[in-house]
Amino acid sequence: MCLLFIMWFFSGVVMMYIGYPELTLEERYAGTSKLAHDRITYSPSDLLVQSNLGAAVDQLILTNIADRPVYLQGQSRLQHAVMYADSGEFIEQVSPELAVESARSFYRNQHQVSEPISGEFKELLEMDQWSISSSLSTHRPLHLISIEDAAGTNLYVSSRTGQVVLDTTRRERFWNWLGSNIHWIYPLQLRKHSNIWGNVIIVLSLIGLVSVITGAIIGIIRLRFKHPYRGKDITPYKGMVKYHHIVGLMSLVFLLTYMFSGLMSMAPWGLFDSDTSFRRQVSRYQYSGSSSELGVAFSKETEIQQLLARPENQDVKQIVWHRLDNESYVAMHDAPGDVRVSSSLTTTLNIELKVEETVTRLIPMSNIVELQKLDNYDAYYYSHHSRFHPLPILRIKFDDRESNWFHIDLKSGQVLGRMTLANRVQRWLFNGFHSLDFTSLIYNRPIWDVVVIMLCGLGMAFSITSAIISWRRIGRFYKSIS
């Protein structure tokens, strides 16, 4: 366990600066080209009629893939329909050639280069070390494309939609073998069996807790303040064992909270599970009554052309269709947090008012105890560790038995997430104790960096004394029997 502790503390520091590979929202928008109004010659109605998925879908998006406008339609995260908005042609299967072109286009846009990009198709894979995330499940198998640039960039393209869904660089891949992969014990051969992996982490965390607690009991019992051992010595030990005793007691609280919070990150034994369906709550917020025959806003290509031709919409990269209390509207995205909504060419949609009128539908049998508009982050809604969260938002607190809080984006009107009382407890037991996500620290960097590195350094020093003592004891044992 002392070797695991050394590994956890060291890799934790690496993870402060090099996160596990993912395609961030900023990267996704940077790699997407602007929508051109004169290239939209087919409407979302054409897609809805021909796809046979109906209007009650999880997503309907207009965006660019390989610099061509496409409609993306998804239902229950299991089915996708992809249609070119400039030709009406459906993408039945994403070929390696299309995947390469999509990756090249993404890279050109992201890095703002005009010269030809060298992209090479590597393989069609179900999962590798960097594409383990369950968020990629609906896009599998994935096309792996090597850009062959100085950074060693690899792009992963969805075989369902043709979108770039993940990027990695040589630097990320190297440091993650010293960071996330060893910190989370994340080798592909283990991680792809999620239940086994989860149980391994839980068991190791419990063993770590037992080792810290038993060591703490012995360490406290052996202390002497009133009657020192030798002169003024409060510990009976000498040499490395003395350092182990003193440093262990100095770092005891941190060791306990670090190991316990690591266990809490796994939400073991269903401690933080909810009895209610978040998906059903959001559906009530979006729809009232039957949703099978509902139309969508801007259902004609001419309406979309006029919308995109407006001066304020010249930089739009994505149009997303939403619904709020059965009313269909679109959100136009230029960049993360840069959103405008519209329900028609002639009317202005007051999204904040509409949200406040509809939020009671989230949990209709409960009362709202507080509506709170947030223009700044706080302890429960914040942006840290490269996680973008939009502002302003509306926080709605209910008096139901789970004490639900909902966060709604006041620019798009969409529910961003919910936090039950159990989730809020987990926020402190995991994010608070493990990542030290306290507002007094994360909003005052580099104070957060200094504190975390010092504590991890203390924990690593203690763990190194454990390793040295263990190695010496094992050496004496083998000498005695040889």
pLDDT tens profile 123-161: 999 999 999 999 999 999 999 999 989 999 999 999 999
- Output the average pLDDT for the chain: 92
Tell me the one-letter amino acid at 206: L
pLDDT for residue 56:
52
Flag whether pLDDT at 293 surpasses 90: no
CA dihedral 427, 176, 387, 337 (to 10 degrees): -170
**Which residues are within 8 A (CB) of 418 and not within 5 positions of it... i.e. 6 or more apart?**
278, 281, 404, 405, 406, 407
**Which residues are within 8 A (CB) of 134 and not within 5 positions of it... i.e. 6 or more apart?**
194
pLDDT for residue 54:
54
pLDDT band (50, 70, 90) for residue 52: low
Residue located via tokens 């049998």: 365
pLDDT band (50, 70, 90) for residue 348: confident
pLDDT tens profile 73-109: 876 555 678 999 999 999 989 999 999 999 999 999 9
pLDDT band (50, 70, 90) for residue 230: confident
Flag whether pLDDT at 294 surpasses 80: no
pLDDT for residue 433:
95
Question: Which of 10-24, 66-80, 454-468 shows the lowest per-residue confidence on average (mean pLDDT)?
Answer: 66-80
pTM of the model: 0.92
Judge contact between 374 and 392, C-beta under 8 A: yes
* Pick from 252, 274, 287, 447: nearest CA to 364: 287
CA dist 53 and 160 (Å) reads 15
Reduce the DSSP state of residue 185 to 3 states and report it: coil
- The mean per-residue pLDDT over the stretch 228-247 comes to 90
Flag whether pLDDT at 292 surpasses 70: no
| Both tokens assigned to 82 | 């992809």
Give the C-alpha distances (Å, rounded to integers) separating 143 from 168, 211, 279, 380: 13, 45, 30, 37
